[in-house]
Structure 1
Amino acid sequence: MKKIIHTLVLFVAVSAIGFAQQINWVTLEEAVALQKKNPKKIMMDMYTNWCGPCKMLDKNTFQNKDVADYVNKYFYAVKFNAEGNETVNFKGKTYTNPGYDPAKANRRNSAHELARYFSVRAYPTIVYLDENADLLAPVAGYKTPQQIELYLKIFKNNEHTKFKTQQDFQAYAQSFKPEFKN
């Protein structure tokens, strides 16, 4: 009987892992190409290897079923190491990280030119782009599923176009009723 219970517990644990929700991450170049066929906004996670809040965002927010389902349905999702050495072609320009030091791959490194282009100054920062890959806003800091839901819905529904002042955004945020579960 003990062996059956142990096997059942193991099966349930493995099954739960198998059902973990995944965001369909693509490169920025892929997202821009996909926009030409099916216009959607882009949500770009600007992270670094050494950033604790970035790892929390991956584990607690991006693995959340409601977040993953919403992002996959309404956005192209891009994960980008803002201190990495990737070469990116974006809007007719090539972005690199000339100051990148491979010896510091998992420590603070030089900021990538693309991160600078999007005015990323802290990690994590989620950069939102419109259907033409034009910048909507960089949103800095760790966000829970309910906190990121606010931004996902603001940009997906073009609510940001209604905000004339910071107070307009604050009023919207205070009245916002999150639906995503933890």
Structure 2
Amino acid sequence: MKKFLFIAIITILNINLTQAQDQINWLTFDEAAALTQQKPKMILVDVYTDWCGWCKKMDKETFTDAKVIEYVNSNFYPVKMNAENTKRAFEFKGKEYTEATMAKAMRVNSFPNFVIMDASMENITQMPGYREADPFLKGLNNLVEKFSK
């Protein structure tokens, strides 16, 4: 019985680990802020809207690419932020924001838009517009190499 239980637990753990790498582990902005205080890491903020067709194309094509999933999960705290969401409030650097007011504070005015922040939660740059997997990875890798030194 103990042997069966051990095998069952190992199987469940393997399934969960495999599933975790099948998608990007999206966080809220405040979750990423808390995590980067514990373990510093760059942050990738995907600023989108519900009506944005290119945003949906990024979700369907680029963010399902295995290389993108692995790279983003390994190198960033990835955040999904709806630029029109005014309902959920959070605090950042002593001020209260919604996703909509944070997107405005980040000066995002086109979608999709990817805001890259360093581990101290300072904006490094924006990468606006739809991107296929390989160009997206190349752009992210250039930023990681430049700002991780």
Same fold (TM over 0.5): yes
Structure label with greater radius of gyration = 1
Stretches of 4+ moved more than 2 A in 1?
A: 18-21
Aligned to 1:84: 85
Query: Normalising to structure 1: TM-score of the pair?
Result: 0.66
- Determine which of 129, 136, 143 is the counterpart of 2:117: 129
Q: Which has the higher strand share?
A: 2
Aligned to 1:151: 139
| Structure 2 counterpart of 1:78, one-letter code | V
In the TM superposition, what is the alpha-carbon distance from 1:148 to its structure 2 partner? 0.9
In the TM superposition, what is the alpha-carbon distance from 1:45 to its structure 2 partner? 0.3
1:122-147 C-alpha deviation (Å, 9 max, x unpaired): 00000100000100011110011011
| CA separation of 1:160 and 1:40: change in aligned 2, threshold 3 A | closer
| Structure 1 counterpart of 2:77, one-letter code | Y
Q: For 1:148 and 1:88, how far apart are their aligned partners in 2?
A: 29
Aligned to 1:115: 103
- Between Structure 1 and Structure 2, how many residues are aligned? 130
Q: How does 1:4-83 map to 2 (within 5 A)?
A: 21-83=22-84
In the TM superposition, what is the alpha-carbon distance from 1:88 to its structure 2 partner? 2.7
Q: Secondary structure at the match of 1:137?
A: strand
Which structure's relative contact order is higher, taking Cα pairs within 8 Å and 6+ residues apart? 2
| Structure 2 counterpart of 1:92, one-letter code | G
Q: For 1:46 and 1:64, how far apart are their aligned partners in 2?
A: 19
Q: For 1:96 and 1:44, how far apart are their aligned partners in 2?
A: 14
Q: Unmatched 5+ residue regions in structure 2?
A: 1-18
Query: Normalising to structure 2: TM-score of the pair?
Result: 0.81
| CA separation of 1:160 and 1:154: change in aligned 2, threshold 3 A | farther
CA-based RMSD of the aligned residues comes to 2.1
In the TM superposition, what is the alpha-carbon distance from 1:160 to its structure 2 partner? 9.7
